[in-house]
């Protein structure tokens, strides 16, 4: 099988100053893409800013013979998102690929969550994904080709204690991505989503070090590179990735039952078993249960 190459493609990777974003940027560049390394350089809760993180990854790419440009803009304001895209156009003349990876955490139980913790996480993850994609969209449309890879999580897909804000944002990204996939189809734009399990600033406080060492970010990026390539024909899909494990994730619906015009609460109760019968489908109760499937192979 021939190597998958991204020569002559221009990519933006947000949140690329470390962790997953850095791994994505380095791999895309090694496969020939010119990469805009975007990172605000803030802390995991979104506070602060620095140019160091993005500059360091640009230097790594250039030292390996690749081409890259740094962007220090945030993703959660329209003007800043437009500036990220402008960096790609000014540096490399076009834009083909967007990898929306930037995110923050402000974990707290729902009872104790204030409006600021909700708004900030929704704004960076969900609104940020929308704004960068929207700024990029005309360029991808005009190309007649484009790839967008967005980032959800097991917490978004299955829920997780203390992450109501993060879970809501991450599941919102799935809905956004599926709609963009439909709207982009006629322009040759494919939009997919990854749900990564990987060592990062966001996971290092909740998983033990021995586990973290089995789920390196570099084990996620090959899926991203494939989704960014000509070889990929899929769109509107979600893929769980981590520790060498890759699986398509789908929202499933049971065969159900037709209760007709005579629907009553009692008939619902009588049919509850059939309503809930998912057959061979496997639902997860929470994010950690879902993550265990990814971790099982890595830890065996």
Domain residues for 41?
Answer: 10-252+283-299
DSSP string, 39-73: -----TTS----SHHHHHHHHHHHHTT--EEEE--
Lowest-confidence region among 79-83, 102-106, 146-150, 254-258: 254-258
Considering just the CA atoms, what is the radius of gyration of the chain in Å? 20
Question: Looking at residues 5-21, what average pLDDT do you find?
Answer: 97
In this structure, what token pair is assigned to residue 280? 């061979």
Percent of the chain's residues with pLDDT above 90 = 76
- Report whether 150 contacts 127 (CB < 8 A): no
As beta bridge partners, residue 71 has 38
Among 60, 61, 90, CA closest to 73: 90
The Cα–Cα gap between 92 and 84 comes to 12
- Report whether 223 contacts 196 (CB < 8 A): no
Q: Is 65 within the bounds of a domain?
A: yes
Query: What pLDDT digit, counting tens, does each position of 135-193 carry?
Result: 999 999 999 999 999 999 999 999 999 999 999 999 999 999 999 999 999 999 999 99
The Cα–Cα gap between 102 and 82 comes to 15
Question: Looking at residues 9-34, what average pLDDT do you find?
Answer: 98
CATH number at residue 220: 3.40.50.720
Q: Is 239 within the bounds of a domain?
A: yes
Q: Identify whether 245 is a catalytic site residue.
A: no
In this structure, what token pair is assigned to residue 26? 């380095």
Which residue among the candidates 166, 187, 239, 245 is catalytic per the annotation?
A: 166
Q: Would the pLDDT of 277 be above 70?
A: yes
Helix boundaries (H) for 93-230:
115-122, 128-143, 154-158, 164-184, 209-212, 221-227
Number of separate domains in the chain: 1
Query: What pLDDT digit, counting tens, does each position of 35-76 carry?
Result: 999 999 977 767 778 999 999 999 999 999 999 999 999 999
Q: Is 261 within the bounds of a domain?
A: no
Q: Is 277 within the bounds of a domain?
A: no
The Cα–Cα gap between 179 and 49 comes to 32
Percent of the chain's residues with pLDDT above 70 = 87
Q: Would the pLDDT of 298 be above 50?
A: no
Lowest-confidence region among 2-16, 34-48, 82-96, 100-114: 34-48
Query: What pLDDT digit, counting tens, does each position of 203-243 carry?
Result: 666 666 766 666 789 999 999 999 999 999 999 999 999 98
Q: Would the pLDDT of 80 be above 50?
A: yes
Q: Is 259 within the bounds of a domain?
A: no
Question: Looking at residues 7-35, what average pLDDT do you find?
Answer: 98
Q: Is 178 within the bounds of a domain?
A: yes
Count the Cβ atoms, other than its own, within 10 Å of residue 284. Answer: 17
Contact partners, residue 97, CB within 8 Å, separation at least 6: 6, 9, 10, 11, 12, 28, 33, 146, 147, 148, 149, 228
The Cα–Cα gap between 20 and 216 comes to 9
Q: Is 3 within the bounds of a domain?
A: no
Q: Is 264 within the bounds of a domain?
A: no
> Any idea what DSSP says for residue 108?
B
pLDDT of residue 283: 43
The Cα–Cα gap between 279 and 272 comes to 14
């Amino acid at each position: 099988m021939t190597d998958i190459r991204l020569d002559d493609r221009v990519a933006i990777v947000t949140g690329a100053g470390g962790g997953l974003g850095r791994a994505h940027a380095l791999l895309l560049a090694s496969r020939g893409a010119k990469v805009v390394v975007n990172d605000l350089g803030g802390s995991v809760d979104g506070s602060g800013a620095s140019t160091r993180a993005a500059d360091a990854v640009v230097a790594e790419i250039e030292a390996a013979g690749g081409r890259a440009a740094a962007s220090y803009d945030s993703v959660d304001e329209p003007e800043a998102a437009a500036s990220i895209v402008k960096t790609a156009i000014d540096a490399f003349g076009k834009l083909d690929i967007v990898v929306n990876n930037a995110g923050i955490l402000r974990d707290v139980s729902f009872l104790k969550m204030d409006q600021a913790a909700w708004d900030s996480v929704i704004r960076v993850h969900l609104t940020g994904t929308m704004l960068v994609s929207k700024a990029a969209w005309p360029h991808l449309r005009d190309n007649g080709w484009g790839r967008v890879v967005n980032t959800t999580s097991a917490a978004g897909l299955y829920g997780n204690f203390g992450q109501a804000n993060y879970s809501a944002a991450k599941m919102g990204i799935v809905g956004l991505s599926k709609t963009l996939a439909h709207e982009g189809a006629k322009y040759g734009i494919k939009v997919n989503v990854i749900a990564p399990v990987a060592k990062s600033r966001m996971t290092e406080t909740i998983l033990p070090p021995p586990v973290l060492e089995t789920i390196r970010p570099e084990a996620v990026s090959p899926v991203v590179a494939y989704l960014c390539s000509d070889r990929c024909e899929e769109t509107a899909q979600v893929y769980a990735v981590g520790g060498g494990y890759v699986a398509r994730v789908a929202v499933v619906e049971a065969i159900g039952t037709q209760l007709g015009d005579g629907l009553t609460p009692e008939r619902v109760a009588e049919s509850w078993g059939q309503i809930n019968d998912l057959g061979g489908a496997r639902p997860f109760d929470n994010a950690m249960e879902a993550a265990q499937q990814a971790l099982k192979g890595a830890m065996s």
